[in-house]
Amino acid sequence: MSDRPHDAPPSRRLTGSTQGFAVLRNLGLLGSPHDDSGGGFTADDGQHVPVLARGAGSPIVLLHGLGCSHRHWTGVARRLARTNRVHAWDARGHGAARPLTGEPVTLPRLGRDVAQLVDHYLLDRVLLVGHSMGALTAMQYLATHGTSRLRGVCLVDQSPRVVTDDDWRLGLWGSCSAGMLEGLIDGARSDFASTVMHEIDAAAGPWLGRILQPQAFVGRHLRHWLASRQIAPLLDLCASLVVADFRAMLAKLNLPLLVVLGGRSAHYAQVPLEDYYRRTVVGAQVLRYELSGHSPHVAEPARFAHDLLEFSDALA
């Protein structure tokens, strides 16, 4: 999926970045990134959750997508921090947040982590912002913990239910069934290396594609490395995304909502989410960035920060 304006929509991929090796690193599959957040907290089960905190003012919490990290908010966070207190985390299994051995990572667990972040930093009247998986995490928090600590929420290029069936056509690509996603997850559980290499191949150019072939030195050794990785927590998380359904929660939401969609999103560009959010949530503001892909905050950080601040100022 493209994070830059003007790029043509690529093949159907699940992660939030076109940079395959960056995704693997963010997921801890090519070594863990250095914790450059400078802070964080310890969750109730002992998990360290890195959090980059900067600025002063009304609090804004930024939740990244699958295969991303707090760094994907850098361009936006720098601008927001001029007038607000910004917190951007690495979710479990992402960035420097290596998951505890044997502990499943699920969407409900991430929702509890958000609640504990809010408690740890003594935050109140939070503007909660989530992209892709982070938007589902924000919705999980709303469903479980309510709105008492929030002043608004922003959801970036995400449906409240990622799978489709005869009664719901607004999931991934408008056509992705639970069986399709469960098949991908099952395939990864049985042969993770091949599944990941397929994702990388989808974004690779001719030169990279050649050196990643199974018979090539780099491709052979990368497959061997991936086969040795512990990926059960990541796949547990993906499985929890498949069953998530926040439509009922949104239908009763009594909190100001901003939705930002990518007009060239490989995930939802052809899905009428704009109409859905306007019909479902009273007073919802919906913006469509026509030249952006699935990550409009990465493609157009200045515009995104401006729009989010306008939304935030109206909540004061």
* 127, β-bridge pairs: 60, 152
Among 18-32, 35-49, 291-305, the range scoring the smallest mean pLDDT is: 18-32
CATH number belonging to domain 20-180+245-315:
3.40.50.1820
Token couple for 264: 């060239």
Q: What pLDDT sits at residue 311?
A: 98
DSSP state of 40: E
> Using one digit for the tens of pLDDT, what is the confidence trace for 79-121?
999 999 999 999 998 888 888 766 789 999 999 999 999 999 9
Buried b (16+ CB within 10 A) or exposed e, 53-88: bbbeebbbbbbbbbbbbbbbbebbbebbbeebbbbb
DSSP state of 33: P
Q: What pLDDT sits at residue 100?
A: 79
SS3 content of the chain, % helix, strand, coil (to 5): 40, 15, 40
Residue 208: CB atoms within 10 A of its CB come to 15
Q: What pLDDT sits at residue 98?
A: 84
CA angle 131, 199, 37 (to 5 degrees): 45
Helix axes 107-120, 232-243, angle to 10 degrees: 100
User: Residue 149 pLDDT > 90, yes or no?
Assistant: yes
> Using one digit for the tens of pLDDT, what is the confidence trace for 40-78?
999 999 999 999 999 999 999 999 998 889 999 999 999
- Strand order of the sheet with strand 84-89? 40-42, 48-54, 84-89, 58-63, 126-131, 150-156, 257-262, 285-289
φ and ψ at residue 154, rounded to 5 degrees: -125, 125
Domain spans in the chain, listed from the N-terminal domain onward: 20-180+245-315
> Using one digit for the tens of pLDDT, what is the confidence trace for 160-201?
999 999 999 999 999 999 998 888 788 767 665 565 656 555
194: Cα separation from own chain's centroid: 23
Buried b (16+ CB within 10 A) or exposed e, 9-37: beeebbbbbbebebbbbbbbbbeebebeb
